[in-house]
Amino acid sequence: MQSKRNAPPRRWPGQPEKQGLYDPAHEHEACGVGFVVDVKGRKSHRVLQQAIEVLRNLDHRGACGCESNTGDGAGVLIQMPHAFFKEIAKKDRLALPGPGEYASGLVFLPRNPNRRRRLAEIFEHIVQSEGQTVLGWRTLPTNNGSLGETAKASEPFIRQIFIARNPALKDDMEFERKL
């Protein structure tokens, strides 16, 4: 009887043979990742609906805590919704430049207001040291009513930051690197 260590790698139907840089010995059974894209980069609510369906179908992935309402924080990554951001920024008296001229990020901060304020100052200093400009912050509306006690105990204070692109940066990738 062969030990598991010396056993040949398990093969799945349709799995290719070892070739080039690909080696089926490095395959793992791993669920928990799904991709839904429009290969032409078009924005579509339908793609978002399909991505949410993927999340629902990955419920079995096992990345959850002992509480049924404490999980791994799985989510969906989408293109920047400029029209939406422009609208919500207006409500917070922030003026956003055109698409591609700014970035947005979610920053998870401590619940303690003094520590939160200090970390936001440090964050802004770093952004400025990279030659970019902080346009402003907004506090995100959240609803933790469905979270388990474990998740609530470590729940961060979430703020959204908007960062203007330095006009001297002509290359999109250079801006990405600065961010």
- Give 10-residue mean pLDDT values along the chain (179 residues): 57 78 75 80 89 77 59 76 94 93 95 96 96 95 86 91 95 92
Q: Is 64 a catalytic residue?
A: no
State which fold the 80-179 domain adopts. GMP Synthetase; Chain A, domain 3 (3.30.300)
Question: 93-98: long-range contacts (C-beta < 8 A, 24 or more apart)?
Answer: 93/136, 94/135, 94/136, 94/138, 94/162, 95/135, 96/135, 96/162, 97/164, 97/165
pLDDT of residue 61: 53
Closest CA to 61 of 82, 30, 90: 30
What is the identity of the amino acid at 28?
H
**Of 9, 22, 31, 38, catalytic:** 31
Main-chain phi, psi angles of 90, to 5 degrees: -55, -45
Instruction: Break the chain into its structural domains and give their ranges.
Output: 1-75, 80-179
Spatial separation of the C-alpha atoms in residues 19 and 33, rounded to whole Å: 25
pTM value?
0.72
pLDDT of residue 15: 77
Q: What is the enclosing helix (H) or strand (E) of 86?
A: helix 82-91
pLDDT of residue 21: 85
pLDDT of residue 72: 64
Instruction: Find how far residue 59's CA is from the centre of its chain.
Output: 18
